[in-house]
Amino acid sequence: MQNPVLIFGAGTLGKVALDIFNRNNVLVYGFLDDDKKLHNTEIGEIVVLGETDDDGLLKIIGQKTEAFIAISNTKVKKKIVEILNQRRHVMPVNAIHDRSVVSETAIIGHGNLLMANATINPFAKMGNHCIVQSGALVDTETKVSDFVTIASGAQINAGAEIAEGAFIGSGAVIVAGMKVGKNARIGAGSVVIEDIPDNVTVFGNPAKKI
């Protein structure tokens, strides 16, 4: 990556993204965050420059800088993606930790965050704007849609399908071939042994609706 990166979000995920880009020798231009208390402060010597819809700063994206969205709130993230697509005609870059493992035959979209020791196995397909936290596994031939969060240590086993906006809690296991619906939430440590409908929250072993 030749251009420096402008990170949207100066919270926990923003700090993770900064560390990843530093480890990959990618220059970070600055942070954008809507919390005005953070403006003109520094995070690891990188300045929080302004708000996420600052037209003056957005104008440099695609010309002088790339963009990465380090925000967990899906609604806010979608809004920023829309701004980048419509105003700047760009997609955010990926932030992939140097200690993550991504198979050469896996397919990964744009704007994804892969933390340390995350594993994306052969022929897995991942969409855009996903978060795969430390130690999580996306196994062979799994399909992960856009805006999915897979928390630390979770396992998405072979051939499983995760629909848009789903949240997979820490240490959860999605058994091979199962389908998790749109915006469904899987509680930490749960074991999913049957398909989960859209907009449903489940917890336990085996996972049950709550």
Domains annotated for the chain, with CATH where assigned, are 5-93 (3.40.50.20), 94-210 (2.160.10.10)
pLDDT in tens, the chain (210 residues): 679 999 999 999 999 999 999 999 999 999 999 999 999 999 999 999 999 998 888 999 988 899 999 999 999 999 999 999 988 899 999 999 999 999 999 999 999 999 999 999 999 999 999 999 999 999 999 999 999 999 999 999 999 999 999 999 999 999 999 999 999 999 999 999 999 999 999 999 999 999
Residue 101, φ and ψ in degrees, nearest 5: -125, 120
pLDDT at residue 1 in the model? 65
Cα separation values, 195 from 67, 168, 186, Å: 35, 14, 12
Cα separation values, 203 from 40, 72, 80, 172, 196, Å: 42, 21, 31, 9, 11
pLDDT at residue 73 in the model? 94
pTM: 0.95
The angle subtended at Cα 145 by Cα 196 and Cα 143, nearest 5°, is 75
CA 208 distance to own-chain centroid: 26
